[in-house]
Amino acid sequence: MSQPPRSHRPHRGERNGDNRHYRDSHDHDDRRSSADRSSSRPPYYPREADSPPKHAREAPRVEHQQSKCTYICSRRGIVLICSVLTNSLVLICVVAAQMVTSGMSSAAGMGGFNINSNFNLQGTELQKVRDLDMQYSQMRAPGTYGGVAFSLTLGVLSLLFVVSGTKPPHLMSKKLLYGALVFQAMGAAAYVVAVGLFLHFIIGVNGTDVCQQRERLYARNGYTWMSCNVSGADAAVALFGLITAILYAAGTVLTIRTIRGVRRYLQERKERSRSRPMRAEITSV
C-alpha cells in the first residue's frame, strides 16, 4: 500500500528557535507592560518612613523635662546653692551666739533651768548678775539683729537667683545676668566688710566693764566658760561669713564667663543669619 506523504515537519532546532523568539518577545512585552503600570501607579512608601519612630518623637520632650535641673545644677547654680546654705549657717550661728553669751538669767527666763537652784547666788549678787546679763545682751543686740537681717536678706536673694536660672543662659534676660553679677560681686565685698565689723563690734563689747564684771562674777562661782574672749559661736559666724564671701567671688567669675559665652553665641548666630541670604542669592543667580 502506498503511504501518504509525510507533511513537512520543521526541524527541531527551528522549532526551538521559534519558541525561544516567542518567549523573548513575550517577556519583553511583559516588562514593558509592568514598566507602564509601575509608571502610572503612585510610588509606595512604607508607613514607618511617613512617621518618625516613637522614641524619636519623645526624645525632645525628655530633654525639655531635664533642662531645668540641668541649668540649675550648673557650676554657677551650684555656687549659688552653696551660698544659700552658708547664709543659713551664718544666721544659725548668730542666733546661737546670742543665746550662749546671754548668761544664766536669760536661759532661766526661757525656761531652761531655775537660776536659784543651779546658781549659788543670793541677794545683791543675784540681782547684779541679772542686771549685768541684761546690759550685756542689750549691748550685743545691734550685732545680733544686724547679722540676722544681713544673712537672711542675702540668703533670700541668692535663692531667687537660683530659681530664676531654670533657662539656658542665652534665653535669659541680660538684666538678670548682670543683676546676678552685681549682686555676687557686692555680696563678696559686703561679707568681708561685715565679718570685720562683726568681730570689731564683739571685741569692743567684750572689752567693756560690764563684760569684765560678768566674767569675774561667774568665775567666782565656778563658771569659767563665761569669759570676755571671742566665743566659738562668734568665730563660727566669721568663718561661715568668709566662706560665703569666697563663694560669691567664685560666682562672680563664673557669671562673667557666662556673659562672655552668651555674647559669643549671639554674635555667631547673627553671622549665620547674615550668611544665609547671601547663599540664597548666589544659588538664584
Predicted TM-score of the model (pTM): 0.68
Q: Regarding predicted confidence, which is higher, 163 or 32? A: 163
Mean pLDDT of 230-247: 95
Each residue of 171-202: pLDDT tens digit?
A: 778 888 899 999 999 999 999 999 999 999 99
Summary mean pLDDT of the chain: 76
Q: What angle do CA 87, 93, 99 make, to 5 degrees?
A: 145
Lowest mean per-residue pLDDT among 90-94, 104-108, 208-212, 217-221:
104-108
Q: Are 71 and 77 in contact (CB under 8 A)?
A: yes
What whole-number distance in Å separates Cα of residue 163 and Cα of residue 157? 10
Minimum mean pLDDT range among 39-48, 126-135, 208-217, 266-275: 39-48
- DSSP codes of every residue in 139-204: HHHHHHHHHHHHHHHHHHHHHHHHHTT-S-GGGS-HHHHHHHHHHHHHHHHHHHHHHHHHHHHHHH
- For the residues 212-227, what does the mean pLDDT come to? 84
Please report which confidence band the pLDDT of residue 267 belongs to, taking 50, 70 and 90 as the band edges.
Answer: confident
List the chain domain ranges: 73-101+139-272
Q: How confident is the model at residue 219 (pLDDT cuts 50, 70, 90)?
A: confident
Residue % of the chain over a pLDDT of 90: 38
